[in-house]
Structure formats: structure tokens, C-alpha cells
Chains A and B, each alone.
Chain A
Amino acid sequence: MVDLLLALIILLNFAMLGSGRIRVLIQTAALQGVVISALPLALGHEHTLRGVVLALVTLAVKGFVIPAVLLSAFDRLKIRREVEPFISYAASLLLVALGTAAAVLVGRQLPLAPEHAGSLAVAAALATVIAGFLLLITRRKAITQATGYLILENGISIFGLTLVGGVPFLVETTLLLDLVAGVFVMVIVMNHIHRAFTTLDTRQLTALKE
């Protein structure tokens, strides 16, 4: 069950890197958030109050609040719908495939505890971090970069939720709070970028260099 969810998460990475519409991209990221929030429950040993609350908070933050903030910014700023990558979609997919392969290789080098033997979690987490990073560096628009950051954080959550059970609840929720605050700040800055340059194309942001 858990491995099925993890495989779905990896597939969603490919979908996001290949998607040409910003709205679809953000919605796919939201779907990935929903799948991730199911991980603590699917694990079985987290059927405690703590596990349920954690799943609900993750679901609210990653599945609804942050995608809604990004989508409303998208609508309000009247951004053109295309993603506008620096590299072609084929190249993006190739890179994310290479990244996933690298993640699987690294995952196999790291010894897992007996209870996690054979788990896909490390590979899925690293593959998602790499996919988020790729989205962040190969896309022109600030809103796509912010979505990339969200996906990168998704990867980290996968690792935290499946393998690290002992992290105190306070820390887990603080992390989610930080993520919400971070995305809010990004959206505020995006509004300013849009007002100042009348576009969200970060290629305008090249005045500062040596």
C-alpha cells in the first residue's frame, strides 16, 4: 500500500515536469500533497491520534491551503497560462528520469532499518526533491519556481512522514507552518514583481551581477 502511494508520487513528478499549463501544474502538486498526507495512515503503525492529526494537517496545508494561495495568485495576476520552460519538455522529462534513477541508486547505498527494508521511501523522497529542484531552475516564471519549492518540500515530507516516526509533533507542525509562511512571503514578493515589471518572468531579474 505504502509503496503504491510512493510509486504514484514518483509518477506525479513526471506529470508535473511534463505539464505545460500552470493551473494543471499547481493542481498536480496539490494531488501529490493529498497522496503524501495519506502516507502516515497507510503505514499502519500511525493509527494514533498523533498520526491522524498529522495526516489532516498535512492534507490541509499541502493539499489545499498552499495550492489555493498559488492558484489565487495565478488568477489575480492574470499570468499567461503556459509554463514557459528554459528547456524543452522532452529534456525536462529526461532530466527527471535521470534524477529518479540517481535517487534510486543513492537510496540503495543507504542502509535501512530492518523494519523499513525494501522501502521505496528514500528513492521517492530524493526523486521528488530533485524534481522540485529541476522545476525551480528550469522554469522562467516566479509562480512556477514557487511551485517547484513546494514540490521540493513535498520530497522532504515524504522522508519525514514514512521513516522518521520519532520527530515530536511540535516540530512537525512547525515545519508545515514555516512552509505556509514561506509560500505566503513568496506570493507577496510575486505581487510586487508583477507590479514592478508587469510580468512574472524572472529573466527581468538580471540587473544584479558582477
Chain B
Amino acid sequence: MLAIVLLLLAPALAALVAGLMRSERARPLVLPALGAVHLLAAVATIVTRPIAGHQDHLLVASLWLRLDALGSVVLLALSVLFLLVACYAPGYLAARSERANRVLVVCFCIFLGLATLATLSQHLGLMWAAIEGATLACTPMIYFNHNQRSLEATWKYLMVGGVGIALALLGTFFMAYAAIASGRPAELTYEALMANGALSEPWVRVAFVLLLVGYGTKMGLAPLHSWKPDAYGETPGIVGALLAGGMTSVAFLALARVVGLVEALGQGAFARQALTVMGLLSMAWAAVFMVRQSDLKRLLAYSSVEHMGILAIGLGLGPAALPAVLLHLLGNTWAKSALFISAGNIHRAFASKHIPAVSGAILRLPVSGTIFLLGFLAATGAPPFALFLSEFGLLQAAAGAGAWWTGGIFLACLVVVFLGFSATVLAAVLGETDAPEPEPQLGDSWRTTLPPALGLGLVLALGLWTPAPLRGLFDEAAASWPVPHAAAVPHPAPEPVP
């Protein structure tokens, strides 16, 4: 109870403090402090969270704000990612002292607060508002470099993201109307909506499509990902990590909640089909654009599109695949922190993010180069990293469900992604370089390498051993996945429109 309040208040307080602080050097230190408090509060909230059916009604909004197993996993992914990025931020912002950092630091805090609110919210409208707010908080971050290219990326992000999130709102209203059209009250908490059993089929389907398009745009599922390479490409590595790990994970959670809801409302098969198609399309699209991709950060953006595709396919496989999906989400989130931060280090030292200008990075930046190389292996699902386990688990689930085509295309895309990713990464990291030694402040130091190394270490550790509490969360999320209400109270079909 206390932990939840702290979880939501700490980011707001930190944003206020950061906004009032005058010192450019001291302000970024707010971020690691917030990250540490947030992680402690998150763990406390997850551990003490009320067991389903025993919620405490101390909060007026207890039906709106509740941490379930699914939300816990996303909250954990987000909180750890934020702490890693926050520990890197002071060093990075000191190196970029030519740019004022007030807006960036404040937006980081606001983003964390709203993303946390999204993981807790059990209400379609509140979830939407939190994600919309988090989206807006990201806008100034993307424009941090203040040049024409980042401006273009920001405008595209605003427009594409704005339309997407608007359609999600329309979908939310349609879902409410699905209840009204079936003669039920328009409650927008998941619990109340699910209790309805089967609702008006056309409304639920249209609502689902709109919500899929809306939150799919935020996740960056193909063909709605067009903002992603531009935004990730033109923004600092820390922002890329926060977007690729945090924003996408929260959007995934929103989509997963909607899928569960639609399942309970009797349209699960339709939703799973749509997710599988979009997931496979995302993987294939990403694979095509990763081959011969010369821009390191755009490469990572397409890798993010690929992983979002994998998560969508996993959702499409139903609750049996959910433990693998959640493991994949954790692995992807933390691997992205290592990749984006080390790519940022390389970008700064070489003053370029393109091969062949970047070559032999491991000679100039031994630690960042190694992290980038290992991060590539982690992101492509090489053993013993966590993503190997999760991708293997998804294949097993596909085989178990008899989805041979899905499994086959999934595997083929993974191979192409590996080949495309490796060509660029190997050219950038290994090979000869005639670039001069970077100046000392651009070289590797513990401040610029420890956070991404820790992120990578977590992905490795998860691949070797899943702690029992985490396994418990995965299983609980799968066990509490909604099932279609076969025994729902029958109610009269709505009158057809004359």
C-alpha cells in the first residue's frame, strides 16, 4: 500500500526537484536516486501485492489501480532498465554539457511515473491516458540533439504516434459501447468488462482492431513502425534504451491486457490470428531491413521491431506461451539497455554511427565494443542468453499448438535477422581501424561501461537461471489469463437496427 504510493509519488517529486534545481551538473544525479528508490518500491510492491480476490479497498481506486502478475513483470523490467539508464545518465550528460539538460531530466522522471501508472492501471481509459502522457513526455527527449534530423524524427513520432494513440482511444470507447450495445453498463475496468461474458461481436472486433493498431503503433509492430528507426536513430542512446525497452514494454502490456479482455469476451481466436499475422510481418519486415543496414542505431530499431513481433506472436500462441513471452520481454528490455548505451559510446568516440566510418570499435573502445558484440549475441537469441530460452520456449509452444507455419516462418526470420545483424556488427566492432585514439573523455570508463555491462549480465543470468519468485510470477500470469466465459449468464441479443 505504502509502496504503491511511493512508486507513483517518487517520480513526480523527482520531476519537481529536477525542475527547480539550478545546477546543470547536479541535476542529473536526481535520476540514479529516483531509479534506486523506484526499484526498491517496485520490488516491495511486487512482493507485498495482494493475492487475487483479496484486494485491499483502502484506495478508492483499488479496482483501477492493482498490480497483477503481468503488470509486475513489466514493472520489474521497466524499473531495472530505468536504474541502469539513470546510472549512465550523469556521465553522459556531463560529456554533453553544451546542451541544457533540465527538460530531458524532468521528462525522464515524468515518463517513469506515467509508465509506472500504466503497469498498475486496471482501467482501459486510465491505461490510455497514462500511455498518451508517457508518449508526450518522450517527445522532448527525442529532440534532445536540437538539429534538423532530430526535429524531423520528433515530428514524425508526434504525428504517427498521435494518430495511433487516438485510434486506441476510439477503440477504448468502442469497447465501452460493446457493453452498452449488449445492454450492460459501460464499465471500463477489465474486471467489470470481463464479467460481462460474450459481448456484441462486431463491436468487440472493431474495438480490438483499433486498439491493436493504436498500441501496435506504440510497440512498433510492422507496418506501423515507420517512426521507430527515425526516432531511435536520431536520439541519444539513453533515450533509445528507454524507448526501446520501456515504452514498448508498457505498450505490450496494454495490448496484452486487451487481448486477455477480448479472450474473455469470446473473440480470442480472432485476436490471436491478427496478432500472429502482425507479429510475423514485423519479424519479416525487420529482417529485410536489417540486411545491409549500415546505421547502427537504425539497426537496433529494426531489432526492436523484430522483438515486438516475437512478443506479438507469443501472445498469439495463447496462455501456454505466456511464460516464454514474459521471459522474452525481460531479456529484450535489458539487452536493449546494453546495446543502445554501448552503441552511443561508439557513436561518440567515432563521431559516426555508420559503417564503414565505424570499424574496429573493439580496438578503440575495448569494453564498449565487447558489450556491443555480446549484446548482439544476446539480442539474436544465442545461447546461453535469456532470449535463447524464450525463443526456444515459443517454438515449443508453437509446436504444441500445431502452428507449424508460424514456427517455420519464425525460425526463418530469426536466421535472416542473425545474418543481417552479424554482418553490420562484425564490421563495426572487429576489423581494422585508422581512426585516431579517442580523446580521454570519449574513451571507455567505468561510468560509461558499468551500466550496460550490468544489463548484459542480467540477460545472461536470466538465461542460466530463472529465480523461483520470477518463475512464480510467470506461471501466475499464465494461470490467471482470462478464459472465455462459457458459463456466462445468457442475455438477449441486441435488437437489430431497423
Contacts of A112 in B (CB 8 A): 181, 494, 497
Bound-state CA distance A208–B142 (Å) is 14
- A44 touches B (CB below 8 Å): no
Interface residues of B in 10-26 (CB under 8 A from A): none
Bound-state CA distance A64–B146 (Å) is 31
Partner of A164, one of B147, B152, B166, B180: B180
Contacts of A113 in B (CB 8 A): 177, 180-181, 183, 494
Bound-state CA distance A49–B152 (Å) is 44
Given contacts A133-B163, A149-B159, A149-B166, contact A166 B187 (CB under 8 A): yes
Which one of B174, B186, B497 has the highest number of Cβ atoms from chain A below 10 Å of its Cβ? B497
Which stretch from B132-140, B261-269, B317-325, B376-384 is at the chain A interface? B132-140
Partner of B132, one of A155, A178, A204: A178
Binary contact readout B114-154 vs A (1 if CB under 8 angstroms, 0 otherwise): 00000000010110110011001001100100111101111
Binary contact readout B164-208 vs A (1 if CB under 8 angstroms, 0 otherwise): 001001100110110011010111100000000000101100100
Which stretch from A15-23, A35-43, A92-100, A179-187 is at the chain B interface? A179-187
Query: Residue of A at shortest CB range from B234?
Result: A208
In the complex, the answer to whether B129 meets A171 with C-beta atoms within 8 Å is yes
- B289 touches A (CB below 8 Å): yes
Query: Residue of B at shortest CB range from A133?
Result: B163
Contacts of B495 in A (CB 8 A): 111, 114, 117
In the complex, the answer to whether B494 meets A208 with C-beta atoms within 8 Å is no
Q: B99 to nearest A CB, angstroms? A: 14
Bound-state CA distance A145–B188 (Å) is 31
Given contacts A156-B169, A159-B173, contact A114 B494 (CB under 8 A): yes
- B498 touches A (CB below 8 Å): yes
Bound-state CA distance A6–B181 (Å) is 20
How extensive is the interface on chain A, given as a class? 35 or more
Contacts of A210 in B (CB 8 A): 229, 289
- Chain B, interface SS category: helix
- A196 touches B (CB below 8 Å): yes
In the complex, the answer to whether A207 meets B173 with C-beta atoms within 8 Å is no
Q: A140 to nearest B CB, angstroms? A: 13
In the complex, the answer to whether A111 meets B155 with C-beta atoms within 8 Å is no
- B162 touches A (CB below 8 Å): yes
Contacts of A129 in B (CB 8 A): 166, 170
Q: A99 to nearest B CB, angstroms? A: 15
- B68 touches A (CB below 8 Å): no
- B230 touches A (CB below 8 Å): yes
In the complex, the answer to whether A164 meets B129 with C-beta atoms within 8 Å is no
In the complex, the answer to whether A175 meets B129 with C-beta atoms within 8 Å is yes
Contacts of A171 in B (CB 8 A): 123, 125-126, 129, 188
Given contacts A109-B202, A175-B169, A193-B155, contact A118 B149 (CB under 8 A): no
In the complex, the answer to whether A166 meets B185 with C-beta atoms within 8 Å is yes
Q: A45 to nearest B CB, angstroms? A: 13
Interface residues of A in 130-182 (CB under 8 A from B): 133, 136, 142, 145, 149, 152-153, 155-156, 159-160, 163-168, 171, 174-175, 178, 181-182
Q: Can you list 7 A-B pairs with a CB-CB distance of less than 8 A?
A: A155-B170, A164-B177, A168-B188, A171-B125, A186-B158, A208-B153, A208-B156
Interface residues of B (CB under 8 A from A): 123, 125-126, 128-129, 132-133, 136, 139-140, 143, 146-149, 151-156, 158-159, 162-163, 166, 169-170, 173-174, 176-177, 180-181, 183, 185-188, 200, 202-203, 206, 229-230, 233-234, 289, 494-498
Closest 9 CB pairs of A and B: A166-B186, A171-B125, A205-B152, A208-B230, A174-B129, A164-B176, A178-B132, A156-B170, A113-B181
Kindly list 17 other residue pairs between chains A and B, CB separation below 8 angstroms, not including A112-B181, A159-B177, A166-B176.
Answer: A111-B202, A113-B494, A149-B166, A152-B163, A156-B173, A164-B176, A166-B188, A167-B188, A174-B125, A175-B129, A181-B136, A186-B162, A189-B143, A189-B154, A193-B155, A204-B152, A205-B151
Interface residues of A (CB under 8 A from B): 108-114, 117-118, 125, 129, 133, 136, 142, 145, 149, 152-153, 155-156, 159-160, 163-168, 171, 174-175, 178, 181-182, 185-186, 189, 192-193, 196-197, 202, 204-208, 210
